A = this chain, B = another copy of it.
Amino acid sequence: QSIFKIAVLPGDGIGPEVVTPCLEVLNAAGAKTGGFALECQDLPAGAHEYLRSGNALPGTTLDGCRAADAILLGAMGWPEVRYPDGTEIAPQLDLRTELGLFAGIRPARLIPGISPVLADPRAEALDFVIIRESIEGLFALRDEGKVVDDREARDTMVITREVCEPLFDFSFDYTRKRKARGGKGILTCVDKANVFASMAFFRKLFDERHALNSDIEVNHAYVDATALNLVRRPWDFDVMVTENMFGDILSDLAAALVGGMGFAPSADIGKDHAVFQPCHGSAPDIAGKGMANPTATFLSGAMMLEWLGDKHNNQAAIKAGQLVRNAVDAAFKNGIRPYEVGGKDGTAAITAAVLAALETA
C-alpha cells in the first residue's frame, strides 16, 4: 500500500479544531478502502506562530510542505495580529506563491438537506465550481503597493501568459473530467475585458487555449454580471475560471448559496504541490467553543484524497475521497445541522455523525 506524506498546518483559531477531526475521518475512510495510508506531520504557521517566532511561515514549515505529497491547512490569521503595514498575517497567500499554486478550486455544491438560500426551487441542486487564479492578478505584487507620503497607495493587477496558460489548460481539463462524471462540460471565463487591458489579455489567452481544447463549450461573462447571475440563475453554471480577486469575491458569494463558509472546501493546485483547506477563516468569535462546522474541511480532505489518488494512480484513495463525501451527505440527510445554518450540532456531533455514516457505508 502507498504511504502519502501529509504536511498538516492547523494554524489559528478554529483551524486545529477542524483539522483534527478531518484527519480522523480521512483515516477512517482509508481503513475502509485499504490501499493507502496517511503519514501526517504537524507544522507551525499562522498569526500565533508569527507572534511566537516573528515568522508566520517558518522555513522549516515551507520545507516540510515541499517534501510532502499534499498539504492540509486549517485556518490562518487573527484580527489583531498584523504586519507593520496593517495587512493581515496570511501565510496561505505566501504558500500559494512559494509553491506556485495557480489554480484555486472552489466547488459550490448544496448538500442535500441544507435549505437553499434562494427561493427558486432550482436552487435545490446547485453544483458548480469556481477556479480562482491564485498567484497573480491583483494579488501579484503585494510589496509594490506602497503608500506614497500619505496621499496615495497603489496595487497592481498583473496577468501573465506564463501563469494563465497552465491555468486555462488546467481549467479545460477539469471541466472535461467533470463532464465525464456527469457535469455540463461548460467553462465560463469571467473577467472585465470590457474595461481593463489586463482583463482583455486574460480573455485573449483564454480564447487561445480554447482553440486547443475545442471539445469544451465555453462562455464569456463579465464579473459584475456574474455576481448578478450567481444570484439569479446559479444552476446554469458549470465551471468558471477567473482572476484572483474576482475569484475571492465570487467564491464567497457561491459559499453563501450553499449554506456558508463552513460548507466551502478548496484546493490550491500547482504543478507539483497542492494545499487543501476550508475557505473559512480562523473565526475568533467561536474559536475554542466546539461550535465550528468541520464540513468544509472534510470536503477539502476528500478533494485531497482524490487528487492524491489521481496523481499516484491509487484507486483506493479516490474511492476513499468519495466515501468521505458520501458520508457527509448521509450525515446531513440524517438531520445533522451546524450552528452556521441555525442548527445545534457542534464539531464533535458532526464528526461523530460522519464517522458513523462512514462505518455503515
Contacts and interface: CB of A to CB of B under 8 A. Distances in A.
A152 to B, nearest CB: 5
Interface residues on A, range: 35 or more
A192 B85 CA distance: 13
B159 A200 contact: no
B194 A77 contact: yes
Contact of A253 (B152, B231, B251): B231
Contact of A153 (B88, B198, B229, B249): B198
Interface in A250-300: 250-253, 255-257, 260-261
Interface string A144-186: 0111001111111111111000000000000000000000000
Contacts of A260: 228, 232
Most buried by B among A152, A162, A230: A152
Q: How many copies does the complex hold?
A: 2
A227 B253 CA distance: 5
A257 B322 CA distance: 35
A118 B120 CA distance: 8
B157 A155 contact: yes
Contacts of A138: 138, 157, 196
A119 B93 CA distance: 35
B87 A200 contact: yes
Interface in A221-261: 223-225, 227-232, 245-246, 248-253, 255-257, 260-261
Given A153-B197, A223-B249, A227-B253, A204 B161 contact: no
Interface centre among A119, A142, A146, A229, by most chain B C-beta atoms within 10 angstroms, is A119
A116 interface: yes
Interface in A197-220: 197-204
A227 B198 contact: no
A90 interface: yes
Contact of A158 (B85, B154, B202, B248): B154
A195 interface: yes
B154 A157 contact: yes
Contact of A85 (B155, B161, B200, B257): B200
Given A119-B119, A155-B157, A93 B195 contact: yes
A139 interface: yes
A295 B255 CA distance: 31
A224 B57 CA distance: 24
Contact of A147 (B90, B120, B197): B197
Nearest to A146: B197
Interface of A: 77, 85-88, 90, 93, 115-120, 138-139, 142, 145-147, 150-162, 192-204, 223-225, 227-232, 245-246, 248-253, 255-257, 260-261
